[in-house]
Structure 1
Amino acid sequence: MSTIVAGHFQLQDQVEQARIELMRAGFAEDQISSFYLSQPGQHDATPIGGDNITSPGAKESPEGVVEGLATGGAVGAAVGLATSPFTGPAGPVIGGLVGAHVGSLFSFSKMKEAGEEEEGGVKNEFVQRHAGMIVAVAFEQEADEQRALEVLQRLGSDQIERARGTIRNGDWTDFDPTSLPKLYH
């Protein structure tokens, strides 16, 4: 495995210029890979499509639904029972159903916003790669990293990341679009 520096660009012309400039900076053509990266969520990484089986930040939602159903159902049934002289025997049943439905909406309060802490103090942060063209270059020497960074920054890459992987014959063979990128900026 090599160290890889990858820059994200929006235009094909920028990609071609980056490839040329990286070769001028001393990188071999087969060390450089370029490809289009789809929008987050469109990588078809799961059996049902998409990138994740569960949404980041929704980890605690199932327990919120259960809590809400139980609490809302009990409160609704109690209210229905208290109003049964007016509503008849259907009051507790309807009250329980309405209460359970309203209570299940409590699960939304368990969902986390980006950056908010989950249980255990872990932050709900999910840094995604931008869709667009990627130019990546692999190297072994630390000195090469600075050269690659300078080229990609000078050409206006809007996101630059560092990774470990393999570029073979111009193909980043082990690139995972759903992995969390380690961004320089």
Structure 2
Amino acid sequence: MSNIIAGHFQLQDEIANARLALLDAGFGAARISSFYVNPPGQHDVYELGGDHDKSPGAKESDEGVVKGGAAGAVAGAVVGAATMPVTGPIGPVVGALVGAHVGSLYSLHKMKEAGEPDEDGSNVRAPRKAGMMIAVAVDDQAQEQRALGVLLRLGAREIERAEGQITAGDWRDFDPNSLPELIAG
């Protein structure tokens, strides 16, 4: 594994210029990779499509729906019991069913989107944005600074540092779902 410096550009011409500038800065062509990153959710990691087997942040949804449903059922049964003189014995039953449904729907607000912080403060980095990227493998701090300087000079946005392998111009172990470690812009 080597360190990789990567940045986003809007246009293919900007990527082509960045490739030439990195070559002029002494980086070998085999150590430079350019590619397009699809928007989150469109990486087709799974056979049926999408990036995840379930929605990020939905890991607590089952528990939340059960808790919300139970609380709603109790509240609905109490309200339904108060209407027994008018509705008869069906009041508490209908109240419990309606309350359980409303409570389970309300509990879905606990779900989080990718990039939102968890309760313990982890997962605070935003997901990687879509767009054209160019990446270069660097061997040491001097090369990293040289690559960073080239990308900044050319107007790269969201420059990140990562670990991986660029072989023959292909970043084979690039994970579009990983959270980027931004170092500039």
State the TM-score, normalizing by the size of structure 2. Answer: 0.89
Q: CA deviation at 1:115?
A: 4.6
Q: CA deviation at 1:89?
A: 2.8
After superposition, the C-alpha distances for 1:52-94 in whole angstroms (9 at most, x for unaligned) are: 3343444333222111111111221222223122112321221
Instruction: Supply the AA of the counterpart residue of 1:162.
Output: R
Q: Which residue of 2 aligns with 1:157?
A: 156
Q: Which residue of 2 aligns with 1:145?
A: 144
Q: Which residue of 2 aligns with 1:75?
A: 75
After superposition, the C-alpha distances for 1:120-140 in whole angstroms (9 at most, x for unaligned) are: x23342421121111111122
SS in 1 for 2:179: coil
Question: 46-55 or 109-118: which moved more?
Answer: 109-118
Residues 1:55 and 2:55 are matched in the alignment: yes
CA separation of 1:124 and 1:62: change in aligned 2, threshold 3 A: farther
Q: Which residue of 1 aligns with 2:128?
A: 129
State the TM-score, normalizing by the size of structure 1. Answer: 0.89
Kept after mapping to 2: 8 A contact 1:62/1:107: no
Q: Counterparts of 1:6 and 1:134 in 2: how far apart (Å)? A: 7
Q: Counterparts of 1:132 and 1:91 in 2: how far apart (Å)? A: 56
Kept after mapping to 2: 8 A contact 1:79/1:92: yes
Kept after mapping to 2: 8 A contact 1:56/1:126: no
SS in 2 for 1:55: coil
CA separation of 1:179 and 1:117: change in aligned 2, threshold 3 A: closer
Q: Counterparts of 1:58 and 1:123 in 2: how far apart (Å)? A: 16
Runs of 4+ in 1 over 6 A off after TM superposition: none
Instruction: Supply the AA of the counterpart residue of 2:100.
Output: A
Residues 1:182 and 2:181 are matched in the alignment: yes
Q: Which residue of 2 aligns with 1:87?
A: 87
What do you get for the CA RMSD once the two structures are aligned? Answer: 1.9
Question: 121-130 or 33-42: which moved more?
Answer: 121-130
Q: CA deviation at 1:108?
A: 3.3
Residues 1:6 and 2:9 are matched in the alignment: no
CA separation of 1:117 and 1:31: change in aligned 2, threshold 3 A: closer
Q: Counterparts of 1:156 and 1:112 in 2: how far apart (Å)? A: 33
Structure 2 unaligned regions, length at least 5: none
